[in-house]
Amino acid sequence: MASTRASVLWQLSQPLRDEAWAGLKGEAMPLFSDIVRYNLKHRKADIVGRLVGGGFTHYASMGGRLGNKRLSKFEKFAVGATNLGIASYGAAIKAITKGPKTLEAVIQSVLTGRPEHLPDGYRRDSGVPLTEGKTDFWKMSKQGFRK
């Protein structure tokens, strides 16, 4: 069951991985940035809650006040990156398990902890035209990912 969910997540997230790779090259990332922009405008409390909860988890997993003094900056960074990765992966799998099987729901779950569809007009505010391939992907994504 877990490998099936991981496989669905891997297939579903291909456009996002492509966009992240393009972002590392300095290109635009409209898919991700539109969803983040929408959430920053309408779901600030959810994002702040995820960040504060992640910060507390990081602090606790580092050993609290005592652990903070003993570990180097690199070790703190490594633990923080690991915690972020585990939390993001868990939220993505939650979206595959409980929410609609769309890339939007996966990103939404990672950002806010809630795997849900975004309103149909959330992209209109961005002003970024989609390529033909991304338009086809969005149509498929709206229908839901079926394995």
Each residue's pLDDT tens digit, 19-38:
888 888 888 887 778 888 78
CB 39 within 8 A of CB 119: no
pLDDT at 71 over 60: yes
- HSE-CB at 91 with a 13 A cutoff on CA atoms is 22
> What average pLDDT does this structure show over 70-91?
87
CA 127 to chain centre: 22
- Radius of gyration over alpha carbons of the chain, in Å? 17
Q: How would residue 145 be classed by pLDDT, with cut points 50, 70 and 90?
A: very low
Residue 139 has pLDDT above 70, yes or no: no
Residue-wise DSSP of 77-108: HHHHHHHHHHHHHHHHHHHHHHS-SSHHHHHH
**Rounded to an integer, what distance in angstroms lies between the CA atom of residue 6 and that of residue 8?**
5
How does pLDDT run across 97-131, given as a tens digit for each residue?
887 788 888 888 888 888 887 777 666 555 555 56
pLDDT confidence bin for 143, thresholds 50/70/90: low
Of 54, 20, 24, residue with least CA distance to 36: 20
Average confidence score pLDDT of the chain: 78
Contact 118, 102 (CB under 8 A): no
Mean pLDDT of the region 78-96: 89
